[in-house]
Amino acid sequence: MSSTEGKNQARSGTGRWGYWVGILGVVLTIATAVAVVYLRWTGQELQHWGYLGAFLISILGGATILIPVPMLAVVFALGVVMKYTWLVGMAAGLGETLGALTIYMTGHGGGTALMNSRHGRIQSAYERLMSLMERRGSLTLFLLSAVINPFFYPAALAAGATRFGVRKYFIICFVGKTIKGMTVVYAGFWGLGSLLRWLGMPF
Nearest-5° Cα angle at 39, 36 to 45: 90
Tell me, yes or no, if the pTM score tops 0.75.
Answer: no
Contact between 79 and 85 (Cβ < 8 Å): yes
Residue 141: the pLDDT is 94
Nearest-5° Cα angle at 34, 104 to 122: 45
CB neighbour list of residue 29: distance below 8 Å, 6 or more residues apart: 63, 64, 66, 102, 103, 106
Q: What is the DSSP string of 89-102?
A: HHHHHHHHHHHHHH
Residue 11: the pLDDT is 40
Residue 26: the pLDDT is 54
Q: How many CB atoms lie within 10 A of CB 57?
A: 31
pLDDT tens for the chain, residues 1 to 203: 444 443 344 344 445 554 455 555 556 555 555 554 454 444 455 556 789 888 988 888 888 765 566 788 888 888 878 889 999 999 999 999 999 998 898 887 665 555 555 555 656 766 777 788 888 889 999 999 999 988 898 889 889 888 899 999 999 999 999 999 999 999 888 876 565 555 555 54
Euclidean distance between CA atoms 130 and 124, whole angstroms: 10
Euclidean distance between CA atoms 174 and 167, whole angstroms: 11
Residue 37: the pLDDT is 47
